Structure 1
Amino acid sequence: MHTRQLGPFSVSAIGLGCMNLSHAYGVPPSAEQGERLLLAALDAGVTLFDTAALYGFGANEQLVGRVLKPHRSAFTLASKGGMAGVRGDDGTLRRVIDGRLATLRRNCEDSLRNLQTEVIDLYYLHRWDKSVPIEDSVGEMSRLVEEGKVRALGLSEVSAATLRRAHAVHPIAAVQNEYSLWSRNTEIGVLDACRELGTALVAFSPLARGFLCDVLHDVSTLDAKDIRRAMPRFSPENYARNLALLPAYKALAKEAGCTPAQLALAWLLSRGEHVIPIPGTTSLAHLNEDLQAEQVRLSPELVARVDAVINQRTVSGARYGAQSSTEVDTEVFED
């Protein structure tokens, strides 16, 4: 697999987002299935594995740490703090965004233990806690670098302005924002800011949370705990309109000689050498399909036609609901 630069690291052009193995899309696969998928990705040449304290409230980090510890020198390990599970008085875990300095340090220590490693290669601020200046949060994270607990820093779901403020405190190796054909907010400012600053743009949900795989045709089949149920684009009304975009899109994939999922990933790779998609999956077949996208080559003319079919003007529904929208710092398109 070809490589791309992520801060001081040379990583596979397509990484693996590990969240699906423990979190977010209904009942996760068994630990044995997760282990097989992680090892298959490593064997296939993936050298960027992405997890977070939030995913499964530590379970995803524990899985990644246990399975990949024997191969620790063979890949770049990324995790995230500043958004994790906190147990309430009733014993239930709830998601909390907390960028206070002591919390970030505690999150990092917890992640090091869960991941069974002495150092995290790339440590992200999972969400900017807007009650804490970004300079303060990044300043504390930079001390983790000085102490040898972290090698490089990243930010997730931030705007170009916030990236520049953070970068002035400590170099930011990567910004991880949602980026796909149907989520173009990154193109407002962050994509160019990352190129200018030498920062990688790590694209999460590059397959539009399954939409661009052409496998989800009925949103009523989603698990009751699937996070997509709360996303406006997956409401029955909006999703029906979005499905109407797929025939033209699939025709373009056929013309390119690839699957719809591969076209989505190849399109992202064409956006710049600093763009690194991290699709996630629980399926070995889908993993192999995703990784083969790196071999797809698209002409500028075909890229333009793909752009015209699925973009922020043709997609129905907002990316997040009202609450989640307040938790991110990314730019938004004007209506």
Structure 2
Amino acid sequence: MSSITTTALGSQGLIVPLQGLGCMGMSQIAGNDIYGKANEAESIATIHRSLELGGNFLDTADLYGNTQNERLIAKAIKGNRDAYIIATKFGFEIDDNEQLTWQINGRPDYVKKAAERSLKNLGTDYIDLYYLHRLDPNTPIEDTVGAMAELVKEGKVKYIGLSEVSSATIKKAHAIHPLTAVQTEYSLFERTVEEAGIMQTLQEMGIGFVAYSPLSRGFLNGQIKSPEDFPENDFRKTIPRFQGENFYKNLELANAIQSIANTKSITASQLALAWVIAKGAVAIPGTKRIKYIEENIAATNVVLNADEMQQLENIVPLGVSTGDRYDSLSMTMIDK
């Protein structure tokens, strides 16, 4: 029996659980571990346990593991495809040798090529939600979305979305084909979508909001106490938010959030997830372990009153800098 509430994601007809499962950490990216080493059997068991609890919304991308993450999901869902809602993303160009070029490609011919590759790797004949991972600055968004709309007409994609885009881009895209969702990093530590008015744009246009890294890449789970807590190949070591003075300033904020969680007898992760969901987002925390998928899904039952929401937002008010969320090159790929 499902133990997680469902909600409409946007206004195009897609119904999803309040919380999905981010699968990025189940594979390496460019040789780097994402939040520690992954084990395929454990990752698949986590996907299956998530489904048992009603968490059937899986989020992946062709970027993750250079297509290996999609193939892992294919193994997990084999024989039970229709029980899952699969979201995947394209845009980080992958060449014919399955190597990342680190270019963003939103050209119509590449959209179709990437979709066919994802369908094959996922072992399915349709993708529930297909996102453009990053805006291609050299291709009009109207052209990219036009090609995505063709995939919908062909029945290969049910719904489309964008990731890390501005309000202006959202409006242009939505005029070509209705967007179901926009995905952006969002957490108590990362509220740019509020500051930039993007959340308001989405609400006005009936587009759903999916929050990735709702635990600020693990900073809000209460387990990171020093920069040495990261494994050697962990990509978080490249992120300014986890470096130098930022780290210790953010640790103080995380400890304050932990204190509120203690008063409610829940974990800091559950409190942070409950806040994201209360703000109107569908959260997609990533994990590759059964223990954490159970803990995360339990967070969907946590109710926060107005005072508790305000206490949390007083700890990290809008406009407070917690450090950049990516290295300088990756920050240039975010549409502002």
Please give the range of the TM-score, normalised by the shorter of the 2 chains: over 0.9
Q: Which string of whole-angstrom CA distances, capped at 9 and with x for unpartnered residues, describes residues 139-175 of structure 1?
A: 1110111111111100000111111110000000000
CA contact (8 A) 2:141 2:172 kept: yes
CA distance in 1, matches of 2:218, 2:229: 13
Q: Which residue of 1 aligns with 2:207?
A: 199
**TM-score, with length taken from structure 2:** 0.93
**SS where residue 170 of structure 2 aligns?**
helix
* Residue matched to 1:290: 296
Name the Cα RMSD after superposition: 1.7
Please give the residue correspondences for 1:94-105 in structure 2 after superposition, counting only pairs within 5 Å: 94-105=101-112
Match of 2:94 in 1: 85
> TM-score, normalization: structure 1?
0.93
Alignment match of 2:65 (pick from 53, 56, 65): 56
**Contact 1:184 1:311 survives alignment (8 Å):** no
1:244 aligns with 2:252: yes
- Structure 1 spans left out of the alignment, 5+ residues: 331-335
Q: In the superposition, relative to structure 1, how do residues 219 and 86 fare at CA in structure 2: closer, same or farther (>3 Å)?
A: farther
Specify the SS of the correspondent of 2:80: helix
Distance 1:236 1:94 in 2: 30
Q: Counterpart of 1:131?
A: 138
Which of 270, 274, 277 is the equivalent residue of 2:278? 270
For 1:99-248, what aligned pairs fall within 5 Å after superposition? 99-187=106-194, 188-248=196-256
Deviations 1:47-71 (A, max 9, x none): 2111100000000000001211222
The one-letter code sitting in structure 1 at the alignment partner of 2:322 is S
CA-CA distance at 1:223 after TM superposition: 3.0
**CA distance in 1: counterparts of 2:209 and 2:200, whole angstroms:** 10
- Give the CA deviation at 1:269: 1.0
Query: Deviation per CA, 1:76-105, whole angstroms, max 9, x where unpaired?
Result: 1110111143478xx964433111111111
For 2:55, what is the secondary structure of its paired residue?
Answer: coil
Contact kept? 1:83, 1:127, Cα under 8 Å: yes
2:286 to 265, 269, 280: 280
Secondary structure in structure 2 of the residue aligned to 1:262: helix
- Counterpart residue type for residue 186 of structure 2: Y
Alpha-carbon separation, structure 2, partners of 1:28 and 1:87: 27
- Asked if 1:15 corresponds to 2:20, the answer is yes
State the number of aligned residues.
326
Structure 2 residue matching 1:327: 3-state secondary structure: coil
Match of 2:267 among 233, 244, 259: 259
Distance 1:161 1:321, change over 3 A: same
1:79·1:124 contact (CA, 8 Å) conserved in 2? Answer: yes
Alpha-carbon distance in 2 for matches of 1:39, 1:47? 9
Alpha-carbon spacing, 1:27–1:265, altered in 2? closer, same or farther (3 Å): closer
CA–CA distance in structure 2, aligned partners of residues 167 and 65 of structure 1: 30
CA distance in structure 2 between the partners assigned to 1:313 and 1:93 by the alignment: 34
State the distance in 2 between where 1:311 and 1:20 align. 29
**Are residues 1:2 and 2:5 paired?**
yes
1:172 alignment partner, SS class = coil
- CA shift, 1:312, in A, is 4.7
Provide the secondary structure at the position in 2 that maps to 1:285. Answer: helix
- Check whether the contact 2:92–2:100 (CA below 8 A) recurs between aligned residues: no
Q: Secondary structure at 1:4's aligned position in 2? A: strand
Contact 2:189 2:322 in 1 (8 A): no
Distance in 2 of aligned mates of 1:19 and 1:251: 29
- The alpha carbon displacement at 1:322 in A equals 1.7
Give the whole-Å Cα distance in 1 for the aligned partners of 2:103 and 2:74: 23
Corresponding position of 2:307? 301
Q: Where in structure 2 are there 5+ consecutive unaligned residues?
A: none
Deviation at 1:225, TM superposition (A): 3.0
* Deviation of 1:250 (Å): 1.2
> In 1, Cα distance between the equivalents of 2:258 and 2:173?
40
Residue matched to 2:324: 318
Equivalent in the alignment of 1:333: none
